[in-house]
A and B are shown apart, each in its own frame.
Chain A
Amino acid sequence: DAKTTQPPSMDCAEGRAANLPCNHSTISGNEYVYWYRQIHSQGPQYIIHGLKNNETNEMASLIITEDRKSSTLILPHATLRDTAVYYCIVRVGGTGGFKTIFGAGTRLFVKA
């Protein structure tokens, strides 16, 4: 699986959009981008994933560049409860996606 690079930490004001970047310059054509978050010491929680098109769900939006070498997770209106560590992962789709390696992630602090 391709490696990812994320900033170690970011701040965001409550109510503003949080934009979390991820670099995955060595991504292969059959690899998807997944985002998870971990609040305090809970188990990581799935947020969103995509292959090459932008995606949106009730939690967030995922913007993937046209060359697929980077992506941005957008939390449109961050709240204090969004303070967490956010992990960007690339993983082969289908039956090849049996193994997931996590990096260090980005620690997002949402401030009042």
Chain B
Amino acid sequence: NAGVTQTPKFQVLKTGQSMTLQCAQDMNHEYMSWYRQDPGMGLRLIHYSVGAGITDQGEVPNGYNVSRSTTEDFPLRLLSAAPSQTSVYFCASSSPSGAGANVLTFGAGSRLTVL
């Protein structure tokens, strides 16, 4: 049981480049979310999804796109990277039911630097 897997762990981009951060979970969780964490700051919600085909914006959605074609995967796309998007990105998943209802399981994070 791998939990939540994020790839890549580290990435360096140039301004204007695009890339996709991958997130996969094997717990059959309905809910998935993306957060960013800037140095010395708390986590800010970028986008979230309540199930396949359903996504919505969080606190800081600008510059990011998401899609949810399967229950397991929730990729985060940066269309045109900017230095302000330099951050650590965390993916999380949870289920609304069961003993651990709404307990978030986080991935290890993806550290992105935009030059």
Contacts and interface: CB of A to CB of B under 8 A. Distances in A.
Contact of B106 (A44, A49, A104, A105): A44
A97 B94 contact: yes
Nearest to B56: A99
Contacts, number: 70
Interface stretch (B63-71, B73-81, B96-104): B96-104
Contact of A102 (B44, B48, B88, B102): B44
A102 B114 CA distance: 25
B45 interface: yes
Interface in A20-66: 32, 34, 36, 41-46, 49
Interface of B: 4, 31, 33, 35, 41-45, 48, 50, 56, 58-59, 88, 90, 92, 94, 96-97, 101-109, 111
